[in-house]
Amino acid sequence: MSRALADEATIQWYPGHMARAMRRLTEDMRAIDLVVEVADARVPLAGTNPALARLAGKRPRLLVLSRAQLADPETTAAWLAYYRERERAALAVDAKDRGGAARLREALEGLASGRRSARVIVLGIPNAGKSTAINALAGRKVARVEDRAGVTRARQWFRAGERLEIMDTAGILVPKIDSAQAQWKLAVVGAVPRARFDPEDVAARFHRWLLETQPESPVPDLETFAQSRGFLRRGTIVDMHNAAAAYLKELGDGAFGRMTFEEAPLP
């Protein structure tokens, strides 16, 4: 996809408040010592924004691959090895799990070691799990969490332990949607508001990718799924639209098994 088209897709998918949030981010960064980026473990590439490296400058950064329980464990291990090789601090967690939350706190403490206090910003694309990560870090529910993109809008500070203060922003890094592949992946992991994509198209693109990468996979295509689940209108016509919504819900929730949509580059 051309640069112009990618920009157009970004504009179509994301309301104005996110563009404003991105501009404000540069300003917010002045008060920040440590940067935590949250990305869904199923999309380590499409789910991160390469512009963040520049934005973070010399500040220590931690990459949190969230919802690790939904990603393919071997692929996650390969991604972590890749980051380790590049000396990028990263961990994969289910931040809703006690053990995951504890590992997350430990990793951030490690990043803050040697400092008497540190101000932390938690960033990520819509619905990446930023508020969930903040709640895990704070050890209690301080940030609002919802199963849809764009919930957190105002900046808030939270204390996490003695030394750390955490900013929950409007969150939001605009994802870099630079290909049709990135589009369906971001839709599947819930980074795109539901009204802004065609579920049938996303389901079809997912299954095409699946056949190319794992020809033996037993995961049904949308048509088969719709037939077998009895998504019918007026008794006979297959109701593809509602079937596609159900298909994407199951895929997103991991009902078709653990999957990662992007392979780690070979070392």
Residues in contact with ligand GTP by the rule CB under 6 A: 66-67, 93-96, 124, 126-132, 145-147, 149-152, 171-172
Q: Find the helix or strand (DSSP H, E) in which 48 lies.
A: none
The answer to whether the beta carbons of residues 125 and 49 sit under 8 Å apart is yes
C-beta separation of 261 from 42 below 8 A: yes
Residue 128 or 240 having the CB closest to ligand GTP: 128
- 66 lines the binding site for Mg ion (CB under 5 A): no
How far are the Cα atoms of 62, 138, 197 from residue 154, in angstroms, in the given order?
23, 18, 26
- Which CB atom, from 96 or from 163, has the smaller least distance to ligand GTP? 96
Give the type of residue at 136: A
Evaluate whether 54 touches 81 at the Cβ level (below 8 Å): no
Site string for Mg ion, 78-117 (x = CB under 5 A): ----------------------------------------
Beta-carbon contacts of residue 227 (< 8 Å; ≥ 6 apart): 238
Shortest approach of ligand GTP to residue 30 CB, angstroms?
A: 22
Q: Which CB sits closer to Mg ion, 75 or 152?
A: 152
Least distance (Å) between residue 92 CB and Mg ion: 19
Nearer to ligand GTP, 150 or 199 (CB): 150
Residue 169 engages Mg ion in binding (rule: CB under 5 A): no
Residue 153 CA to residue 59 CA, distance in Å, equals: 24
Closest approach of Cβ 267 to ligand GTP, in Å?
26
Q: Which is nearer to ligand GTP, 88 or 148 (CB)?
A: 148
Residue 47 touches which member of ligand GTP, Mg ion, none, C-beta under 5-8 Å by kind: none
Tokens (6 digits) for 90 = 């990263």
Query: For 31, which DSSP code?
Result: G
Number of Cα atoms under 13 Å in the Cβ half of residue 197 = 28
Distance of closest approach, residue 48 Cβ to ligand GTP, in angstroms: 13
For the bound state, the minimum distance from the C-beta of residue 216 to ligand GTP, rounded and expressed in Å, comes to: 28
- What x-and-dash track marks residues 110-139 binding Mg ion by CB under 5 A? --------------------xx--------
Helical spans, DSSP H, in the chain:
3-13, 16-28, 51-56, 73-85, 98-111, 130-138, 180-188, 199-213, 222-228, 240-253
- Interface residue list for Mg ion (CB under 5 A): 130-131, 152
